[in-house]
Every structure is written in C-alpha cells, then in structure tokens.
Amino acid sequence: MTNANALGAVQKKPLFDRTLIDALPVEHLCDLSIDLELGQVIPTPLGTRLTYVVKGGRFEGPRFRGEMLPGGGDWVSLGADGTSRMDVRATMRTHDGVLIRYESHGVLRFPGDGRQRLARGERVSFDESYVRPTPRFETSDERYAWLCGIVTVGYGEYGPGRIDHRMFSIL
C-alpha cells in the first residue's frame, strides 16, 4: 500500500463526531466608538507603522457602558499586502467608575482608495472594508470579572479621526 492510499484510508473517518455548526452563537456585547488623534506614519524596514493616540470615546452594551479614557493607542502594522494588523491598548471606565484594561488585535483591509478617502474626511463603511477586532478585557472588579473569561469578536468602520466597532461575545 502506498503512503497516498494509507493517508486516504485514514481521512475517510470524520475529524469530528458531530455535525459542524455553520454559524457561531454570539451575543451583542457593546458598541464602541473611539476618537483618535491624527495618525503618525512611520516607514520602517519591516513595513509602515501607524500610531494613533486615543483622545477619548464611549461604549454601550446591554451589560456595561462607559467611556474610553484618553491616552491609549492603536499601533498599526501595515503589511506589503495592504492588510493592517491592529494592536490597540486602552482603558475603559464604566459608568459606575470601574477601570477595565482593553486590548485588541485583529485585521483591517480597506478598499484601494480607502486611506485616501479617510484623508479627505470621508468614512469607509463596513460593506467596503474588512475590519475585524478581537478584543480582550481585564479587571478584578467582581461586577465585571465575567469580561475576563469571554472570547470577543467584532466588526467596524473607520471615519476621519474615529473608529466604530460593534462587539460580540461568542457563547
């Protein structure tokens, strides 16, 4: 028996015992809007780096709401393939005063003229781009400790000086 036949025989058995689901069960976590300073564009031997400083913002969801504090940032790596890799770190403060560390990674792809449109003050919508953040949260406050143990994904839109993300927890 050849290696190809032996491999084929092994692959006939399904990898999963159950039928795969075709959609992830999710629950709306929050909508997040962050105001940003003008970006700093830094060409490097490893690609273009863009730094955006958080001016402020807000978030609102069914289980928590509050503001994004000034001073965080998004350190974006723009690859030669046109795909940006997000690296966001900021502080959230809930309506009742709890501080939450916010960290998000993810990918962003604009249409060919997307960055030029943003520079002209236009918005790049969800339908035209691929913005997929994957945030994580940290806090020791018992009221919001549940945030530390969830997987979160989102989608977003960019406008001049602002990002808007809709976040979901995967159930």
CA distance 67 to 33: 9
| Coil/strand/helix, residue 15 | coil
CA distance 84 to 82: 6
> What tokens were used for 50?
């863009």
Which is it for the CA torsion 74, 91, 141, 94, positive or negative?
A: negative
Can you tell me which residue has the tokens 């909508």? Answer: 31
Q: In the prediction, which pLDDT does 52 show?
A: 94
Average pLDDT of the chain is 91
Name, of 21-30, 122-131, 135-144, the range with top average pLDDT: 135-144
Q: Yes or no: say if 119 and 132 are a contact pair by the CB < 8 Å rule.
A: no
Distance, first Cα to last Cα, the chain: 45
| Coil/strand/helix, residue 58 | strand
Can you tell me which residue has the tokens 């020791």? Answer: 140
pLDDT over 60 at 48, yes or no: yes
Write down the pTM of the prediction: 0.85
Top CATH class, 21-170: mainly beta
Q: Yes or no: say if 127 and 111 are a contact pair by the CB < 8 Å rule.
A: no
Q: 164 CB contacts (<8 Å, ≥6 apart)?
A: 31, 32, 33, 34, 156, 157, 158
What band does 44 get if pLDDT is binned at 50, 70 and 90? very high
pLDDT over 60 at 5, yes or no: no
Q: Which of 127, 72, 65 is nearest to 103 (CA)?
A: 72
What band does 11 get if pLDDT is binned at 50, 70 and 90? low
What band does 91 get if pLDDT is binned at 50, 70 and 90? very high
- Mean of the pLDDT values across residues 7-34? 82
